[in-house]
Amino acid sequence: MGKLFAVVVTVITVVSTAIFITHTWWLPVDISAHGHAIDHQLSETMLSSGVLFVLSQLALAVFAWRYGDRKDGRQVKTFPGGATPMVVLAAILVGAEILTLTFVGSKVWAGIYQTPPDPNSLNIDVQAEQFAFYFRYAGADGKFGAVHPELINEANENFFGLDPAHDTTARDDIVVPSLVIPVNRPILLTLRAKDVNHAFYVPELRIQQDFVPGLVIPLHFTATQTGKHEIVCTQLCGLGHYNMRAYVEVLPQAQFDQWLKEKAAQQ
């Protein structure tokens, strides 16, 4: 029975590890300026914790194989050196791993979430609601109109609650259901929630952030490749949560300028 256990554990370990190593299912292409650091941190963690995983499972398998009770009258043996050396070694090894991961990982995290946005960022306001995203560009004046929740009206397509009648800065705001951004230009999103919690997640951009009602949350990144990808909501927001998505389209700067001009003309 011990041998069977050893074989099953070994097979499980080898098959699961092989699928990780061969990247049979893996992260999609990274199109962000910061994403390589995340991918690197993930690979480092995969390597160090993968070694721990394989060694622990194989030790369990080997011991189960070897130390079955064969009724041969042998005496049990204690672990060489007892618990202390093993505990000290484990604490040092895992401690060193944690220290390294924290040191490197904190810099990666801080590089995304704790650094100020580039002053030349393109600012885009994002409103999340059950079950859609809306994106707002400042228009020709470069200023966003103030938001008035009481004026939000889906039927009139006033998704942000703007007051163009009294607020001149709101008149040229461009509101669209898709995020269109220029490539290689820093983007600063300002996240607002109309109703409940939502989240902004683009796997290819390696970025994720909750929308929280009552909070205005900044999020900045730079896309390095053109293309079109899905933005999905990852914070349970109600019955249509699974279907709450939009697209992010990364365009060359000239094409983006053209697009923005066309949208401004339609306002």
Nearer to another protein, 108 or 183 (CB): 108
Length of the chain: 267
Q: Are 167 and 158 within 8 A, CB to CB?
A: no
Q: How far is the CB of 88 from another protein (least distance, A)?
A: 10
Query: Where does residue 117 rank: exposed (0-12), middle (13-18), buried (19+ CB within 10 A)?
Result: middle
Find the shortest distance in angstroms from Cβ 76 to another protein.
Answer: 4
Q: Which of 70, 166 has the CB closer to another protein?
A: 70
- Cβ proximity to another protein: between 96 and 140 the closer is 96
Q: Least Å distance between CB 34 and another protein? A: 9
**Residue 226 CA: distances (Å) to CA of 6, 13, 189, 205:** 50, 39, 18, 11
CB of 55 to another protein, least distance (A): 10
Q: Which is nearer to another protein, 64 or 162 (CB)?
A: 64
Q: Taking the complex as a whole, how short is the minimal distance between the CB of residue 152 and another protein, in angstroms?
A: 5
**142 or 149: whose CB is closer to another protein?**
149
Q: Which is nearer to another protein, 122 or 235 (CB)?
A: 235
Sign of CA dihedral 40, 123, 116, 209: negative
Enter the tokens of residue 29.
Answer: 């292409």
- Dihedral sign of CA atoms 35, 197, 231, 241 in order: positive
Residue 260 Cβ, how far from another protein at the closest point, in Å?
Answer: 26
Contact between 170 and 162 (Cβ < 8 Å): yes
Exposure of 235 in the CB half-sphere (CA atoms within 13 A): 18
Q: Are strands 122-129 and 132-137 parallel, antiparallel or unpaired?
A: antiparallel
